[in-house]
Every structure is written in structure tokens, then in C-alpha cells.
Amino acid sequence: MAEGNDDKQRQLDAYRVGSEGSRLTTDQGVRVDDTDNSLAAGERGPTLLEDFHFREKITRFDHERIPERVVHARGAGAYGYFHLYESLAEFTVADFLCDTSARTPVFVRFSTVAGSRGSADTVRDVRGFATKFYTRQGNYDLVGNNMPVFFIQDGVKFPDFVHAVKPEPHNEIPQAQSAHDTFWDFVQLQPEIMHMVMWLMSDRAIPRSFRMMQGFGVHTFRLVNAEGRGTFVKFHWRPVLGTHSLVWDEVLRIQGNDPDFNRRDLWESIERGAFPEWELGLQLVPEADEHSFDFDLLDATKIIPEEVVPVRVVGRMVLDRNPDNFFAETEQVAFHTANVVPGIDFTNDPLLQARNFSYLDTQLIRLGGPNFAQIPVNRPIAPVHNDQRDGYNQRIIHRGRTSYAPNSISGGCPMSGVLSGDMEGVFRHYQERVDGNKIRKRSPSFEDHYSQATLFWNSMSAWEKRHIVEAFLFELGHVERRYIKEQVVQRLANVDAGLAAQVAAGLGMPSPGATTPNHGRTSPALSQANSPRDSIATRKIAFLVAGGADLNRAGQVMAALQEKGAICEIVTSHEGQVGSLAVDRQLSAVSSVLYDAVLLADGGELSENGHAVHFVREAFKHGKAIGALPDGEALLEAAALPGRQGVIGPETTGDEFAAAFAAVIAEHRVFDRDVDAVAA
């Protein structure tokens, strides 16, 4: 559907206004003579109220902020397209999932959950992954996260969870962190949260970039085909670059070096032409198998293990254009789980049901009334005809005398499918018989809160487990109340006795022992250690160079790495040039945490530079690949690293050096280093 992309582009272009070559005017189009001085009674006299330009300018400024999102306030977005590999007409009538010739326009917004708009990108948190598909049948919003489960089972608990994880109300501290008493008090009192807490304490909560982050629809949805037959579905986004994360010590330093680390990475990648890509995968479950699992498909704290139901890859999404204006597009984009198209429907997941109410309610207050769907980024490419009129921010001039149905004056239009007799392409709600008494009671099938938390723990590699333990110790180390720590450790004993013992030891308390036996099952797909590691595309490499180095050799290595898609920057003690090479960054303005790897070729000049020595030691501490050409040996020695794991030294020569260095970079991190031997 190339025409779909063109339609959305033309629609957005109609709203774009440039300032180049223009003359300053008021909102009424009146030319302005001077915008630096207010109209006053004399040079030192009072400002006059008749200065309409001043009043308009200040009034617009005073009102230019809208309420930020309560959750997912901090975000970044981009446009792109989705292309289907194979038709899914067997399962759904959703056009964009049936037509393999279609190129469906999309807008994607990534976000953190807990922090405000001004918080840092790299906090320990869940990441939102929301996709708006502008389909020919209307807008479809897949509003997901980078973790496949959630903290609670029923949406009535959502305000409680958010209040618990947000800054504490008496002092508005801490910002964008779960490391405080109220969150962990909620954890120790709500066992259903334990699976999600394991994900939150894992490296999944600190992604290397949005481009290296998985996405999940979280809930079980339903696909519906032309015969009205339903199929349960779980949605997965898989990054083509693999799933990779930062390390915690690095995260803390990035927040000071570049709080916009993830959004800058997304923006610059698209501007560079290294377009982020994900493949869409589906887990499909026939309705007849709804009750064949040892968990409830409607429970949002559970996954379907991929060994039980494989993920079927059906299409690819590419983000290839940055927004023109952050506020107009990224800030005003409005997602809603209930924005579905024919062929996609809901299930009775109680958390999903709550979201279907809450999102619309939120848009009404944030975006100034019911006409937010007319904002350009939210407008569908499908034609819109209905009897909704008026309201705040109405942008459409409706013609005609009727705004009701049925009517005869306007020929009955806009006419429903029933009245017109044309039911082609209409949304038909899935027909499901529902019976039951009005009760406040959760199904017994939702009562298992630990087995999948154990599955997640069992599936982790040794380094992932070590990071999870360290995360628990950091978080609980910020909790003031001892009894909360003790109760959380008790909860962990239901996940795994060894995990609980390690956390207890770090907190200086006795191990609670095994409360629930470990079932021993694993799911390899849950471990990032099994993510693809065959590319260095878009990896950022710092070349520490100085004038005394063999710059030709350094340039050859750089060219070899750039040919593989890496981004190489010359970093040294000053701006300007190093020989024939242009300096990209000077040492005092950057840090190793902003790079994926470092190459040393300094001719010995930087071996006495404290910034350079720290740069190398810090890169080693964070598991990054280090390469040293013969001219970098002095700097490597000055760094006094406690080992050479993942270090490609000058003993590797010729073309083999670049290949060996690239192979270590592709592994993402070297996790078997003795990082504790490196000072912070």
C-alpha cells in the first residue's frame, strides 16, 4: 500500500508550516513591527494593555504546556511503515494483515513509564512500545511494552501501582526510580507482581537503545476471520539488531553524560539512514486450546513460553522519518488500546478491559476535548464520516443540515452498514456468550504468582542472574524499612531459594530457605544471552588517537569497521584535527559510556592523560570491546587492566585485527571480566 504512505504524507504536509523567508505576524496574520520591545508610555513608562502583540505572545507562552502523561510521560517517536510477509486471511479480516502488497504507514512512540518528561532516558524502568498503524480500514493501535507481562492482573489496581512507584507524595522523591519504600511495600503485599519484578530487575529494564529492544502487546488479543472464527494472539516485536542492554554502573553515568541517550540514538540513527527495524511475530492459539495451559490466557502477568507456542514471524516494520515537531507529533500522538480495526478484537483480560476505558478518558483531559483525533498525527488515512460535531478544538467545517441518525434530509447519510445494507468492511464485534453473577472476585486460574517468575530466573545466563541479584540489592538498599526488605526476600524464596539467599546475604539477613521448590523448567527465548550476535551495524566506537600514532593504520581499521556498519568517532584531547583526521569529540566532553567499544592508537601521548586512562578502564569495567594497535600499547599499559578478556592487542596484525575486534564488538559485552577489580 505505497499509496497509504503517500496519503499520510500528503495529509501531514497540509499542516506543515515553514518559517524560512517569512515575515513575522500575529495569529491573525497582521505584520509585526518589533518583537523585542513592548509598547510603553515613553521609554521608561508603563507597558500599555493595547499592545495586542505582547498580550498574544505572552498568553500563548503561558498556555503552551499541556498536562504531561501520568505514565509514559518521557518519550520519543518516529514515522515508518509496516510490510507483511505472508497473508493471515486464515485468521483475520484485518486488511493490513492480509495484503502482502501493502505498505502500511506507522507512527511509533517509545517511552519510560514512571518518570516525568524531564527525567533521564536510561533509568531502570519498563519501556513503552506503542505503534499506530494507519490502515485503510482505520487506525489500529498496538499499545505495548518492552516486557511481555505486567505488574497487576486487574486494572482496578493500576492507580495503586502507579501511586506506589511514583515519587513519594510527601517530598516528590525519588524521580523515575522504583528504589524506594512505597514501591517495595506494594511488592511485598502483592504476590501477583513477582513475575514482572523479575523482568524489572533484569537487564531488560535498561535497554542499550530503543532499536535493540523487544516489544510485546502484553495482553492476549483475538483475531477474527471472515467466518467469525476467533484465534487468540500474542504480539511480539523483535529488533533486527538483536536485544541488548546497558549495565547498571554505566546507566548511572549516562544519566549525567547524556540524559537524552536513547532518544538521541533513535533520532541520529534515522537521520544517518540506519533505519531501525523490527519483525512482527505472532503466537496463535486456537480457541479450542484456551484452557490447555497451566496458566490463564487472560492473565497479563503470564507469558506463553515460545517452546509451547512458537512465534510466527509475519512482517517487518521500518522507521525511516523523524517528526518535524516534537510537541505537535510525539507529544500529541494519542494511543488507545480500543483503537482496533475489523479482524482484531479483545478478550476478557481484566487489565485490558480497564485500559480500554482509561486511555480515552486520558486523551480528553490532555488534548483539550473530544476532537483530538483531528490532530494531524492522530488522523486516520481512512475517510471519516459521522455525526459528531462541535466541542473544544473542532478543526473541521461540517457542511449540511443534519447531525443525527436516522435522517431523511441528508439522504440518511452518513449511513451505518445496517441501514445501507452494505456490511462489507464494517467492524463486527466477536460474538461470545457471557454469563455470570455480578461479583468482585478473581478467577482461581489467576492464583499462581511464582511459577513463571521461577521460569524467568531459571532461563537466565550466569551474568544475567548476577545482574538481577545486584539490581535487587541496589533497589532494596534504598528502602528504609527493614520489614519491607524482609518480606520481599520472603517473596523471592517462592521464586528460587538461591536467589533469595544471595539477596538476603547482601542485606545482612538470614536466608529464608526454599518456600516453594524450583520446578526446573527453562525457556531459552527469555535470555538476552541467546539474542543474535552477528552484526556491529550502528555500534558506536571511540578511536582514541593522538598525533604520534600511525594514522594510516587507524584509518584502515576505521574503514573496515565502517564497512560493517559501525559508527566511528575520533576522540582526543583537543578539537580540530589530528593529522589528516578531523576530531569528532574532545575527551573532556565525552565518556566511554556513550560508546560501545574503544580503539587505542595514540602513539603514547594519551598514556599520561587522566581522561584517556579513565576512559579505557571504564570501558573495560562495563564489558566493552577494547582494541589496541601498536601505537596504543602505552595507553593500554597505563590503564593497568586486571585482565585481557575481550581486548584485541597489537599482537593481532593485518586484516585479522579488524575482524577480531569486530567479532568482540558483535558479542555486545564481555561479561566474564573481573570488573570488581576496576575502581569506579
Separation between Cα atoms, residue 146 and residue 130, nearest integer Å:
10
The yes-or-no answer on residue 145 being catalytic is yes
Question: Which residue spans of the chain are classified as CATH 3.40.50.880?
Answer: 540-677
What is the three-class DSSP state of 532? coil
Told to judge if 371 belongs to the known catalytic residues of this protein, a careful annotator would answer no
Q: Which DSSP letter does residue 551 get?
A: H
**Does position 190 have pLDDT exceeding 80, yes or no?**
yes
Residue (of 234, 184, 213, 224) closest to 352 by Cα position: 234
Fold of 540-677: Rossmann fold (3.40.50)
- pTM score of the predicted model: 0.94
Lowest mean pLDDT among 139-143, 192-196, 577-581: 577-581
How many Å apart are CA 187 and CA 190, to the nearest integer? 5
Fold of 75-378: Catalase HpII,  Chain A, domain 1 (2.40.180)
Question: In the chain, which residues fall in CATH 1.20.1370.20?
Answer: 452-530
In this predicted structure, which of 410-414, 420-424, 580-584, 657-661 has the lowest mean pLDDT? 420-424
Question: Taking 90 as the threshold, does the pLDDT of residue 75 lie above it?
Answer: yes
HSE-CB for 589 with a 13 A CA cutoff? 10
Place of cell 441518525: 405
**Which residue in the list 5, 53, 139, 145 is annotated as catalytic?**
145
Domain 452-530 CATH class label: mainly alpha
pLDDT digits (tens, 9 = 90+) for 330-367: 999 999 999 999 999 999 999 999 999 999 999 999 99
Average pLDDT over residues 426-431: 89
Q: What is the pLDDT of residues 26-60, one digit of tens each?
A: 989 999 999 999 999 999 889 898 998 999 888 88
Q: pLDDT, tens digit, for every residue of 472-503?
A: 999 999 999 999 999 999 999 999 999 999 99
Contact between 73 and 115 (Cβ < 8 Å): yes
Residues of the chain with CATH 2.40.180.10: 75-378
> What pLDDT score was predicted for residue 1?
46
- Please name the residues in contact with 632: beta carbons below 8 A apart, sequence gap of 6 or more: 544, 549, 599, 600, 601, 602, 650
Q: Which of 5, 53, 72, 236 is catalytic?
A: 72
In DSSP notation, 363-424 reads: HHHHTTSTTGGGSGGG--SS----S---STT------SS--SSS-STTTT-S--HHHHT--T
Query: Could you say which DSSP state residue 46 is in?
Result: P
390-415 per-position pLDDT tens digit: 999 898 999 999 988 898 998 988 98
